[in-house]
Structure 1
Amino acid sequence: MFWYGHGVGGWGWLAMSVGMLLFWILIIALGVLLYRSLARPGEGSDRAGSGQPGTSPEQLLAERFARGEIDEDEYRRRLTVLREGSRDGPGPGRR
C-alpha cells in the first residue's frame, strides 16, 4: 500500500505525546482563567465603590448582609450601634 513503511518512529510518538499534553494544559488553564474572571465579576468594584459619597453606613451594612458577609445577629447588633451613635452625636471621645 501507499503508506506502508512510513509509520511514526519513537521520537514522533514522544513529540505527539508532549504536544497533546501541552495542548490540554493550555485548554484547561484558559478554562480556569475564564471561570475565575466570570465567577466574581464585581468583587473589585464593590470594594472600590464602597467609599462613594452619599452612601450611608446603614446602606453599606445592608449590602454586606445581602452579600452574606455577616449574619443576621451581627447585622442587627451593628445596626443598633450605628443608630444609637447617630442619635448621641459626636461625643468627647468621638470624631
Structure 2
Amino acid sequence: MNTLNAQTALLLADQNYGHWEPGWGVGPWFVLIPITFWLIVIAAVVLLGRRRRGRHGESTLRDAYARGEVTEAEYRARLAVLRETRR
C-alpha cells in the first residue's frame, strides 16, 4: 500500500498539479471569452434598437404623408434625412 501511495505522489509531483506553467491552464481566455461574448450581445441589442427606431420614424412619416399632413416634396426630403442619419 505504501508503494502505491509513493508512486501516486511521484506521479502528481512529476505532472506539477496545482501549479501554473506557461502554456498550461486556463490563461487569459477564461476572462476574455465571456467579456467578448457580452460585448457582442450588447452591441447587437444597441444596433437592433437603432434600426427599429429608424424604421419607426419612416412609418410615422409614411402615415403623415398618407393623411395628407405633408406634401410629396416634404415627404421625400424628410425621408432622405431619416435614411441619412440612420447610417
Same fold (TM over 0.5): no
Band of TM-score, shorter chain? 0.3 to 0.5
TM-score (ref. length: structure 1): 0.40
TM score, norm. by length of structure 2: 0.43
Q: Which structure is richer in relative contact order (CA contacts within 8 A, separation 6 or more)?
A: 2
